[in-house]
Amino acid sequence: MGMIASLALLLLCGYGIGEIFNHFRLPRLLGMLLTGIALGPFALNWLHGDLLLISQPLRTIALIVILLRAGLGLKWNDLKVVGRAAIMLSFIPCIMEGTIVMIMSRTLLGFSYAEGAMLGFVLAAVSPAVVVPSMLNLKDQGYGEDKQIATLVLAGASVDDVISITLFTLFLNLSVRGEADFLV
């Protein structure tokens, strides 16, 4: 099977199984993920081998589309209202989760502080692929409009990812090079 046919099979089956999962009130994303696993090299192996070679650019494009949807779903006036709360919602959980995992991995697993911090900030990152579609769906249905909950969560998740990625990169440089470059 060619690469285009494999991609078409993956998209069609993923969308179809996602709709079936949605019918049973399960997240579409779960059906799509299970479809990818089932069709991939670890189960049925129905996908063209070169599809894995272009998977990184495809994931990058998908992330760009997801983040664009999140950004376009936000309004400047709404951000002014929830700004401080969104910053607090992103900084405090991210820093706490990363720090707790760092300490626990040092204590229980014997990791260095830099390795534990890398693990902590990878785990602390919010997945925009899960949060953004769900929040945009709730926003479209009108839930939480008076308190602008969807805007708060979208803004908080975006800033949370920036913090997590920045701190992960900082501790990665610290671990590999022995120095922290704040200009990364």
Say what the pLDDT of residue 179 is. Answer: 63
Say what the pLDDT of residue 85 is. Answer: 84
Token couple for 56: 């990184």
What is the rounded CA–CA span in Å between residue 106 and residue 115? 8
**24 φ, ψ (degrees, to nearest 5):** -95, 15
Say what the pLDDT of residue 103 is. Answer: 96
Chain segment 62-88, per-residue pLDDT in tens: 777 877 776 676 677 766 777 788 888
Which pTM does this prediction carry?
Answer: 0.62
Say what the pLDDT of residue 184 is. Answer: 46
Chain segment 21-41, per-residue pLDDT in tens: 999 989 888 999 999 999 988
What is the rounded CA–CA span in Å between residue 123 and residue 57? 23
Contact indicator for 102, 120 with CB cutoff of 8 Å: yes
Say what the pLDDT of residue 183 is. Answer: 46
Q: Which residues of the chain have pLDDT under 70?
A: 70-71, 73-74, 78-79, 179-184
Decide: residue 64, CB within 10 A, 0-12 exposed, 13-18 middle, 19+ buried: exposed
